Structure 1
Amino acid sequence: MDSPPAARVPKVFLVRTQIDAILADLAEGDSVPSERELANRFGVARETVRHALRELLVEGRIRRRGRGTVVSRPKLTQPLSLRSYTEGAISLGRTPGRILVAWDDIAADDPTAADLELEPGTPVMHLERVLLADGERIGLESTYLPLHRFACLRGSYDPTTSLYAAIRATGVEFAGARERIETVLAAPREAGLLECTTALPMLLLHRRSVDADGAPVERVRSLYRGDRIAFEAMLSPVSA
């Protein structure tokens, strides 16, 4: 029986492999050759090079700087655990930060009310903040808290710091959480706040946390740039 013909290797893959070899010899912040230079070097169309570079941008290997492209630093890899973004970033040697976008009291919609075990329309505290790592915008976080439990934060909490630390300071301890992760594209407003395009893949996290009594503490929606952050988890065997 004849062997099946070998699959044709896409030209973009070949160009991507060659660019990978170039990046391996460059350091963080070094300039990447231009599209025109790469197209001439490899004897391909600029659109082929553009496609390969777009893949590397999405993966976070390179980033735009001004009108050029440079080698990016490795992604921030966050462990999936019951701690704040601030704590996770510091543990990885990065400098966390936050920019306050909104801090207001709103009426809980049905999903928020269900997660916080409230009646729909009950006032909840809402904080929306841009997450920073070493000054770079990497995420957008919206947190919803039961107002009757955490109204005291209004007079004491600095929204550019860790919210988890402030909640613990009120005597509330986090005991567990349910978290779901999915891939999405950012809405135009979200892309603007994160200084990226709407075509960039995002990681969307939904979290519901409870205290030691099982009472809801928070509902969180976190949107992260897929080119700047990754998540990992420690897994243990379970019995069948």
Structure 2
Amino acid sequence: MSTSRNILLVERELTDALSASRSTVRAVLQQLAREGLVTREPKNGTRAIGSLLLPIDELKTMDQLAREPSAPLETHTIECRQVGRPPVVCDRLGLPVGWSVLMIESLLVHDGLTIGVTVGYIAVSEGQSRGIDVEGLDVISILEQKLGIDIGPSRSTVGAVTADEQTADLMGVDVGAPLIWLEDVIEDDAGQPRALSQLRLRGDRIAFSAMTRRIM
């Protein structure tokens, strides 16, 4: 779902609240529109686009997220290939002998705007990755639909990073722009790690929600 979406921004009210000139407020709103943070339409005025609210206490496919009451959420595959047995990924996944890693990199698009870059590393047995059509699929969909794996729990980590040159180019942001980094280590129902999913998301367009409880 989205938060703070379609809030009307009135220039006169902003100039009064900020003690700024109308030309300054108008210039700022125009800059925000260029950055995709507000929309400016004749007769409809200027409206805040708001953040996409993603649950992090549930594992959902992109298809499931797309059915949430928000603007369309899409995945576009950039690259998919076998990368052998990278030491860091092998260690994180406890990769069995003879298995390799399938890497898939995708863009996450919300309401026509690229808001994230996802990189997934999937543990596959010999020959398992051959002939897999992954276009438009996320890591969870590949595990369940293409590899027939029953998903168990995942371990999630959230952090903050800045955009490097490649990520900034893909997402249309400035180098050094603040990004949210989300990593999931996804296990099968037997407790074997099967995928490492890493997302870099625009810090100005994403918010997270989770159900928490107090532990005594």
Q: Normalising TM by the smaller chain, what interval?
A: 0.7 to 0.9
Q: CA deviation at 1:119?
A: 6.9
2:201 is the counterpart of 1:218? no
Runs of 5+ consecutive residues of structure 1 not aligned to the other structure: 1-22
Q: Deviations over 1:134-173 (max 9, x none)?
A: 2211110000011317x54542434213442342233311
SS at match of 2:125: helix
AA aligned to 1:91 is E
Deviations 1:48-89 (A, max 9, x none): x79x87xx79xx853799xxxx53312110001222243224
Q: Which residue of 156, 160, 170 corresponds with 2:136?
A: 160
8 Å Cα contact 2:39-2:49 kept in structure 1? no
Structure 1 or 2: more helix by fraction: 1
Aligned 1:195-234 pairs, distance under 5 A: 195-234=172-211
Aligned twin of 1:83: 60
Q: Residue 42 in 1 paired to residue 25 in 2?
A: no
What is the 5 A alignment of 1:136-147? Answer: 136-147=113-124
Match of 2:90 in 1: 113
Aligned mates of 1:94, 1:74 — CA distance in 2: 11
- Is the aligned partner of 1:26 residue 2:40? no
Q: Map 1:51-66 onto structure 2 (within 5 A).
A: 62=38
Counterparts of residues 5-20 of structure 1 (less than 5 Å): none
Give the CA RMSD over aligned residues.
3.8
Give the count of matched residue pairs: 201
* Aligned residue identity for 1:73: I
TM superposition score normalised by structure 1: 0.69
CA distance in 2 between counterparts of 1:140 and 1:214 reads 27
TM-score by length of 2: 0.75
The structure carrying a bigger strand percent of its residues is 2
SS at match of 1:157: coil
- Does 2:56 align with 1:73? no
Distance 2:98 2:119 in 1: 18
Task: Return 5+ residue gaps in structure 2 as ranges.
Answer: 1-5
How big is the shift at 1:192?
0.6
Residue 175 of structure 1: aligned partner: 152
Shift of 1:232: 1.0
**1:102 aligned onto 2:74:** no
Question: Are residues 24 and 218 of structure 1, via their aligned partners in 2, closer, same or farther at CA, if it must alter by over 3 Å?
Answer: closer
Who wins on radius of gyration, i.e. which is larger? 1
Q: How many Å apart are 1:207 and its aligned residue?
A: 1.0
Q: Tell whether the 8 Å contact from 1:202 to 1:225 is kept in structure 2 after alignment.
A: yes
Alignment check: 8 A CA contact 2:102 2:129 kept? no
Structure 1 counterpart of 2:177, which letter? L
Contact 1:175–1:210 (Cα < 8 Å) also in 2: yes
- Kindly, what percent of the aligned residue pairs are identical? 22
Q: Check 1:99–1:119 CA distance in 2 against 1; reply closer, same or farther (3 A cut).
A: same
Query: CA–CA distance in 1 between the matches of 2:49 and 2:68?
Result: 17
Provide the residue aligned with 1:126 in structure 2: 103
CA distance in 2, matches of 1:120, 1:183: 34
Is the deviation greater in 91-100 or in 72-81?
91-100
